[in-house]
Amino acid sequence: MRPQPASVVLFDLDDTIFAHTAAVRAGVDAHRRAHGGAMAAADESAEFARWTALEEHHYHRYLRGELAYLDMRRARARGFVEPYGLDLGDDAVADEWFSRYLIEYAKAWKLHDDTVPMLDALGGRRFGIITNAELEFQLGKLRALRVTGRFEHVIASGEVGAAKPDARIFAHAASVFGVAVSECVYVGDRLHTDAIGAVDAGMRGIWIDRPGRATAEELAEAASRGVDVIGSLAELPSLLQA
């Protein structure tokens, strides 16, 4: 049975309410062009795909506890520049390289266009965020975009010591709000990490598939697990009334 209407609506941050992928692409491209030479001349789409693959690989190593946060960033930087013969072996040099990427990434920060209208339409609900990241870095995004006050609590895996889809981080979020997990709904852009993870923890799970790339198998799996699928946050207010 689906929980009755949720008093707390929780969101993933990156690529759910915040346009992370677009900012990453802009940041990588600008940082690459600043290098000049072969790196600047390389194919934009291929280099973005390579950066994304490195991000996914090392970020999940960080979530599994194999790498510390800064070591995860250093590994991504070193992997990216390796084909160009750049030496980032010294940690300070790798950190400086990554910090210059972050400057370009931050220049492109923006919310998805449907985020604020959705929050306004759901006025009266309590909002929060559960993110697999370090708290202060994610809070920096919310501050820069002037929406910190829209979210009662921001729950970050780096503080909790458990990462989605681990049920403990969802349970922790519910406890911070002082409600049962069944009183919460969770919206995220990853089917298993976000939506099914939330369902397994006892929440209502909603998968936002912004690119519209869900396969028939994924849609069938979502349906079998009671996960709702939306393509935009504009669909959320009416869905939560159902």
Do residues 81 and 117 share a domain? no
Closest CA to 144 of 110, 115, 113, 116: 110
* Three-state helix/strand/coil letters over 167-221: HHHHHHHHHHHCCCHHHEEEEECCHHHHHHHHHHHCCEEEEECCCCCCCHHHHHH
Rg (Cα) of the chain, in Å, rounded?
Answer: 19
Do residues 97 and 134 share a domain? no
**Which pLDDT belongs to residue 6?**
80
Here the CATH number for the domain that contains residue 148 is 3.40.50.1000
**Of the residues 75, 107, 139, which one is the last residue of a structural domain?**
107
Do residues 163 and 226 share a domain? yes
Q: Which CB contacts under 8 angstroms, 24+ apart, belong to 38-43?
A: 38/84, 39/81, 39/84
Do residues 114 and 24 share a domain? no
180-200 pLDDT per residue, tens: 999 999 999 999 999 999 999
Q: Which domain holds residue 155?
A: 8-19+110-241
**Of the residues 107, 124, 154, which one is the last residue of a structural domain?**
107
**Which pLDDT belongs to residue 1?**
40
**Which pLDDT belongs to residue 4?**
54
Residues of the chain with pLDDT under 50: 1-3
**Which pLDDT belongs to residue 3?**
44
Residue 60 CA to residue 66 CA, distance in Å, equals 9
User: Positive or negative, the Cα torsion across 104, 213, 80, 74?
Assistant: positive
173 touches 139 (CB < 8 A): no
- The H-assigned helical ranges of the chain are 20-35, 37-41, 44-63, 69-81, 91-107, 115-121, 135-144, 157-160, 167-177, 197-201, 216-224, 236-241
Do residues 91 and 115 share a domain? no
**Which pLDDT belongs to residue 124?**
85
**Of the residues 107, 142, 170, which one is the last residue of a structural domain?**
107
Residue 209 CA to residue 188 CA, distance in Å, equals 9
**Which pLDDT belongs to residue 2?**
46
Number of domains in the chain: 2
User: Positive or negative, the Cα torsion across 169, 173, 178, 184?
Assistant: negative
Do residues 117 and 140 share a domain? yes
19 touches 111 (CB < 8 A): yes
Q: How many residues does the chain have?
A: 242
